[in-house]
Chain A
């Protein structure tokens, strides 16, 4: 798993590639937690290059989303595709999170 972070307008963009499984999920959650602690309130997660996610990864996302929501912030997604999209579909994450076809559309919605 590799995480790349940057900032666009008031949105922290987190591009994650590789795999978020039971082994890497704690590091991913830590990365999101660091952004929240640093004061970020809008986090856009780009899943374009993510090849695999398991329930451990969804657990990290939900946990961070709960923390952020309590601070009136939110997590958004873009780049949903392939097996990752299927996992989002089955888990219901596709309907409880805001998901955008592109980064530009996500930023435009803010």
Chain B
């Protein structure tokens, strides 16, 4: 799998595409990032981004019931950290969602739509690619 050029993969986790897999994905990615030298604040941001990405796939991607999600983490030669969340569902680019109006009142605000916005706001970049019939969401984090 291609995350970015020269990314050294530190861990790869494959689990069923169900909500119950979330704690293990979170724990394993957090451990990977901690070992790569990240502090608590960035670890919290990454945990949130990973949850939002995975929940998004489970909720909106109509993939087969026995499908899996793969999460990988790694660093490049400059020490930039990458998390890739990969699924085999139909093509689905979550980054195309509209940015929510965060100033709307309680009555006017739609319930939901914040997950992808959180990923964009709390990380140092997120990209979507469709490769080999897989959706690949790559989150970038600098130290």
A interface vs B, CB < 8 Å? 21-23, 52, 54-56, 58-59, 62-63, 65-66, 69, 83, 86-87, 90-92, 95-97
Contact status A65-B51, CB under 8 Å = no
Known interface pairs A54-B52, A90-B121. Does A23 touch B47 (Cβ–Cβ under 8 Å)?
Answer: no
Apart from the given pairs A56-B51, A69-B106, A92-B103, 15 other A-B contacts in the complex at a CB distance below 8 Å: A22-B22, A54-B55, A55-B52, A56-B115, A65-B106, A66-B106, A66-B107, A69-B107, A83-B41, A86-B122, A90-B121, A90-B122, A92-B104, A95-B103, A96-B109
| CB atoms of A63 and B111 under 8 A apart | yes
Residue pair B51, A54 in contact (C-beta under 8 Å)? yes
B125 an interface residue at 8 Å Cβ cutoff? no
Q: How far is the CB of A88 from chain B (nearest CB, A)?
A: 11
Q: Is the interface of A mostly helix, strand, loop or mixed?
A: helix
Top 8 A-B residue pairs of the complex, sorted by shortest distance between their CB atoms: A92-B102, A55-B114, A55-B115, A83-B44, A22-B55, A54-B51, A90-B121, A63-B111
Q: How large is the interface on B (under 10, 10 to 19, 20 to 34, 35 or more residues)?
A: 20 to 34
CB distance from B38 to the nearest CB of A (A): 14
| Inter-subunit contact B103/A62 (CB<8 Å) | no
Tell me the minimal C-beta distance from B84 to chain A in angstroms.
Answer: 20
Closest to A56 in B: B55
- Let me know if B112 is at the binding interface, CB within 8 A: yes
* A69 to B121 Cα, complex, angstroms: 29
Q: Quick one: which of B41, B51, B52, B107 has the most chain A CB within 10 A? A: B51
**Cα distance, A54 to B22, chains bound together (Å):** 12
Closest Cβ of chain A to B60, distance in Å, is 13
Tell whether, in the assembled complex, residue B105 and residue A96 are in contact, meaning their CB atoms are under 8 Å apart. Answer: yes
**Given known A-B contacts A21-B22, A21-B51, A55-B118, A62 and B111 have beta carbons under 8 A apart:** yes
Against A, the Cβ 8 Å flags (1 = close, 0 = not) of B37-60 are: 000010011011001100100000
